[in-house]
Amino acid sequence: MMERPAPGVKVCGIQRVQDAVVAVELGAQAVGFIFWPGSVRFVDPERAREISAALPAHILRVGVFVDQPPAHVAEVARRVPLSAIQLHGSESAAEYSASGCEIIKAFGVSDAFDSSALDALPAQVTVLLDAHDPVRRGGTGRTIDWSIAASVAARRRLILSGGLTPNNVREAVERVRPSMVDVSSGVETAPGIKDAVKLRAFFDALVPFADGSVTRNGD
């Protein structure tokens, strides 16, 4: 009987020190800061730097950007500092390699989404799948087609996003088997304000994967 490894957890849209600290204490491997001014969860780089300073060194600091100049992104990455850059627009991942950070390329999943297009990405680029929204660029609270996500996760490292909550994350992980799950609105009381009770419930839902009580289908 083969056990499914527990996925990593990224808590995104962090705006407050206390939310980042609680997320990490509960087991988050990564926190996400949104540096796109068009987002209701935007955080100033200096504020992100203060939050980052309160976290252990091993936690991944991910900066989310949308079609922002590579030089600006690299400067923010240096100032915070960031571990990874998440590109949520139409940018080419190759344009941002000079930042020295891991690159995460986000794709919005719609009815017309063709996952085969992802195969052209370099293997070192991590794919994130989210609900398609050309205006909000994430944080919509809408789930995606998990069968599409599962087909991508079978081929490469995948971060699953899009409408994940304490109530559905276990099923999502069972069906998709992502390397990491990304949660934002599903653990909030308001945009950018995380709820400690919801965060704990989210991590509790993943305990069966960590203790080996959830196994592969058919095993």
By annotation, the residues acting in catalysis are: 12, 130
Distance CA 156, CA 67 (A): 24
Token pair for 76: 């923010």
First-residue to last-residue Cα distance in the chain: 5
Q: Which residues contact 95 (CB under 8 A, 6 or more apart)?
A: 70
User: For residues 117 and 113, what is the distance between their CA atoms, to the nearest angstrom?
Assistant: 9
Closest CA to 138 of 41, 28, 21, 16: 41
